[in-house]
Amino acid sequence: MSTTVEPDVVRELRASPTVPVWPTAGRALGVGRHAAYQACRDGQVRYIAIGRKKWRVVSADLLRLLGLEE
């Protein structure tokens, strides 16, 4: 799946091992806040829960999903 993702979002994905579900992962996927978190809950996007409130998406997985891995 190759898609057009904003260049600043791609740079952020490549600069950090994990990114916040919202706004970064949501913007990369082209979805809103609710849909980004729902994709994580449904297992469509792998995430790491830090405590009860902080969810991070693994950047390499998201780049692979979007067809943007190097």
Contact 47, 21 (CB under 8 A): yes
Q: Which tens digit of pLDDT belongs to each residue from 3-48?
A: 588 999 999 999 999 999 999 999 999 999 999 999 999 999 999 9
How many whole angstroms separate alpha carbon 47 and alpha carbon 13?
Answer: 14
Please check whether residue 22 is in contact with residue 31, taking contact to mean a CB–CB distance below 8 angstroms. no
In a domain, 2, yes or no: no
* Band of residue 1 on the pLDDT scale cut at 50, 70, 90: very low
Q: What is the pLDDT of residue 2?
A: 46
**CATH number of the domain to which 33 belongs:** 1.10.10
Domain that holds residue 26: 7-65
Which residue, among 49, 41, 68, has the nearest Cα to 29 in the 3D structure?
A: 68
Answer yes or no: is 1 within a domain: no
Alpha-carbon torsion angle 26, 53, 63, 6, nearest 10: 30
Question: Percent of the chain scored above 70 by pLDDT?
Answer: 96
Is the CA virtual torsion 64, 62, 57, 20 positive or negative? positive
For the chain, what is the domain count?
1
